[in-house]
Amino acid sequence: MMKIKNVSIIGLGYVGLTMAVFLASKGVRVIGVDVDKEKIEKLSRGIPTFYEEKLEYLLNEGIRENTLEFTDSYEYAISNTSITFVTVGTPLREDGSIDLSYIEEASTSIGKALKKKNSYHLVVIRSTVIPGTCLYSVKNIIEEFSRKKAGIEWGLCMNPEFLKEGSALRDLSKPARIIIGEYDKKSGDILEEFYRQIYSDVEIPILRTSLSTAEMIKYANNAFLATKISFINSIADICEKIEGCDVVEVAKAIGLDFRISPLFLRAGLGYGGSCFSKDIKALIEFAKEVEACPILFESVDQVNQRQPLKAVKFCEQLIGNVKGRRIAVLGLAFKPGTDDIREAPSLKIINELLKRGANVVVYDPVAMEKVKRLYGEELVYASNVLECIAGAECALIITEWNEFKKITPQIFKEYMRTPAIVDGRRIFNPEDFMKAGVKYMAIGLGFNYSTR
Neighbour count for residue 282 (Cβ, 10 Å) = 24
If the CB atoms of residues 190 and 350 are measured against ligand UGA, the closer one turns out to be 350
SS3 letters for 205-256? CEEEEEHHHHHHHHHHHHHHHHHHHHHHHHHHHHHCCCCCCEHHHHHHHHHC
Q: Does 225 participate in binding ligand UGA (rule CB under 6 A)?
A: yes
Spatial distance between the Cα atoms of 377 and 170, rounded to a whole number of angstroms: 38
CB 48 within 8 A of CB 144: no
Contacts of 58 by beta carbon, 8 Å cutoff, 6+ apart: 21, 22, 24, 25, 169
Q: Does 308 participate in binding ligand UGA (rule CB under 6 A)?
A: no
* Beta-bridge mates of residue 32: 9, 70
CB 156 within 8 A of CB 11: no
Environment class of residue 167 by beta-carbon count within 10 Å: exposed (0-12), middle (13-18) or buried (19+)? Answer: middle
Q: Does 139 participate in binding ligand UGA (rule CB under 6 A)?
A: no
In the complex, least distance from residue 116 CB atom to ligand UGA, rounded to whole angstroms: 33
If the CB atoms of residues 115 and 342 are measured against ligand UGA, the closer one turns out to be 342
In the complex, least distance from residue 253 CB atom to ligand UGA, rounded to whole angstroms: 15
Contact mark string toward ligand UGA, 157..196, x via CB under 6 A: ----xxxxx-------------------------------
Provide the phi-psi class of 292: left if phi over 0, else alpha when psi is between -120 and 50, else beta: beta
Spatial distance between the Cα atoms of 348 and 339, rounded to a whole number of angstroms: 17
Contact mark string toward ligand UGA, 227..246, x via CB under 6 A: --x-----------------
Q: Which stretch binds ligand UGA (CB under 6 A): 31-39, 105-113, 180-188, 263-271?
A: 263-271
Pick one of 7, 83, 223, 275: the residue that binds ligand UGA (CB under 6 A): 275
Q: How many residues does the chain have?
A: 452
Range 203-222, binding ligand UGA (CB under 6 A): 222
If the CB atoms of residues 225 and 434 are measured against ligand UGA, the closer one turns out to be 225
Q: Does 337 participate in binding ligand UGA (rule CB under 6 A)?
A: no
CB 293 within 8 A of CB 368: no
If the CB atoms of residues 111 and 273 are measured against ligand UGA, the closer one turns out to be 273
Q: Please identify which of the residues 275, 315, 388, 394 carries the catalytic annotation.
A: 275
Whether 134 is catalytic:
no
If the CB atoms of residues 143 and 423 are measured against ligand UGA, the closer one turns out to be 423
In the complex, least distance from residue 432 CB atom to ligand UGA, rounded to whole angstroms: 23
Neighbour count for residue 136 (Cβ, 10 Å) = 12
Q: Does 276 participate in binding ligand UGA (rule CB under 6 A)?
A: yes
Neighbour count for residue 258 (Cβ, 10 Å) = 7
Positions annotated as catalytic residues are 275
Residues in contact with ligand UGA by CB under 6 A are 161-165, 222, 225, 229, 264-266, 268, 271-273, 275-276, 334-335
